[in-house]
Amino acid sequence: MNRINLAFVIIYFNLALEGWAYGEFPIGRVIGTRQEAATAYMLLEVHQMLSPSQTVFLQGNIPVVVREMMSIREIEGIYYYRAYSLNNPRVITGESVFSRPISQESRMQEFEEEVLFRKKKQAQIILTKGKKAAINKGSLHDVDKRDIYKVVDSKGQSKGFVELYGVGDFMSIGNIQYPGEYLGQREPVALGDQAKFIGNRKVLGFGLMHMLNVKKAENPRPGSGAEKSLGDNLLWSVILKKGWAVEAGLGASMVKLYPAGVNFVEFNFTYPAWLRKSFFYPGLISPFLVLGLVRHNSAIHPPGTSNENTVTKNGFIPFGGLGLEFFSGYRVHLRFDYHYYPIPSLEFKGTKYKANKDFLFGGLTLNW
C-alpha cells in the first residue's frame, strides 16, 4: 500500500471515530508551524478578517486561538495571523482552518481535494529564510527532488525560482534562484507567493548528435572540386544547477575536399568537449551557449601514392556555439547545436586550403 492510500485510510478511520469536524467551508490554511513544549505556534493564511482571541478550528477538533495580524494583501483579500493551540496538538503545515462544525462527509471531501488529489502543479511559498524557501507540496503530491518551481507575484510576474532538495510528505524546501536572463526581476521571493511547477532538473544525459549540414560528394575524384562532410557523436551530459552543464561527444566529424593540384584535403575533428549555459531553464524551449575544445587532424595528400610529402597539422582548437533545447524539464530532450570551428588553413606549394567552419547538429538525449 503506497503512502497516499495509507494516509487516506488513516484519515477515514479517524473521521469515523470523531464523527464531527470543524469549518464546513475552510477560511484558510496553516502555512507555518513550530512546537514549544505543549504549545503549537502557527501562522495562518485566511480569506477573512479575524479578531484577536477569536477561536478557529483545525481538523480533528483542534481549537486555535488567534493572536495579532501580521500582514494583509488587500487586493486578494488575504490576511496573515499569528495563532497558537494548547495541549500538545499535532499540527501539519497545509492544514485547513475552519470556523464552525461540519459533517464528516464535508470534511472527507475537503481532505481529498486539498491534501490528496491536488497535485504539484500549483503551490505556495509558506516559509522563506535567506536563500531558502518552502512550499506547501510534498511527496503525497508527487513532488520530487530537483523539481523547479517558478515563483510569481500577484500580477503573474516572475520573481525567481525554487529548486527543491528536501521533500517531506506535505511540504518541501529548496534553494531560491534569481536567473539573470529574467530582466527586471528584483523583488525577493516572499511568504504567500504563488509557485508553478515548470520541470525537473536531471543529472545525467546520454544520446546521439548527428551532423545536419552533410555534403555527399557526387564525383569524389582529385581535381573535381567536390566536397564531402559527415559526423556523428555519442553525447554525454552532466547537468548542473542554474542552467549549467558539462558535455562531451564520443565520435568524429569530417570534411574532405577534392581541389585541383592535390589528391584530397581532409579535416577531422574528434572528441569535442564543452561547457553549456542554458537560459530559461527548464522550459519548453531553452536557448544555450557553448564554449569548448575539439581535437583536429588535418592533412593535404599531394598527387601520387606516397605519403612522404603529406602536409599535416593537428592539435586542439577552441570553439564556440549556440543552440536550442526542447523539453529540458522532461526525460527526453530534443536539441539543435551550431558549432563554429576556427579551423587553421593548410598550405601546399603556395596554395592555401580551407574547410567550412560551420557545423550544425541535431540531437536526441535521454536524461535521468
Give the pLDDT of the chain (368 residues) as one tens digit per residue. 455 454 444 444 444 444 333 445 789 999 999 988 888 999 999 998 898 888 898 877 788 999 998 988 877 789 999 999 988 888 888 888 988 655 555 555 555 555 555 678 889 898 888 999 999 899 888 999 999 999 988 777 888 899 999 998 888 999 999 876 665 556 788 888 899 999 999 999 999 999 999 888 777 788 788 888 999 999 999 999 999 999 999 999 999 998 988 889 999 999 999 999 999 899 899 999 999 999 999 999 888 766 667 888 999 999 999 999 999 999 999 999 999 999 888 888 888 888 888 999 999 999 99
User: For the CA atoms of the chain, what is the radius of gyration?
Assistant: 31
Which pLDDT belongs to residue 252?
93
Return the SS3 of 96. strand
What fold is seen in the domain 204-367? Porin (2.40.160)
Closest CA to 294 of 249, 263, 352: 249
Q: Which three cell numbers stand for residue 215?
A: 555534403
Contact 170, 4 (CB under 8 A): no
Contact 277, 180 (CB under 8 A): no
Q: d(Cα 99, Cα 22) in Å, to the nearest integer?
A: 6
- Of 210, 216, 202, 256, which is closest to residue 366 (Cα–Cα)? 202
pLDDT at 240: 95
Q: What does the domain layout of the chain look like in residue ranges? A: 3-116, 122-200, 204-367
Alpha-carbon dihedral sign for residues 249, 281, 137, 108: negative
Alpha-carbon torsion angle 277, 283, 286, 292, nearest 10: 30
Give dist(CA 167, CA 201) in Å, integer. 15
Quick check: 204 and 182 in contact, CB under 8 A? no
CATH architecture of residue range(s) 3-116: Beta Barrel (2.40)
Whole-prediction pTM value? 0.67
Predicted local confidence at residue 260, as pLDDT: 86
CATH code: domain 122-200 is 2.40.10.170
Residues 6+ apart with CB under 8 A from 350: none
Within its chain, how far is the Cα of 41 from the centroid? Answer: 34
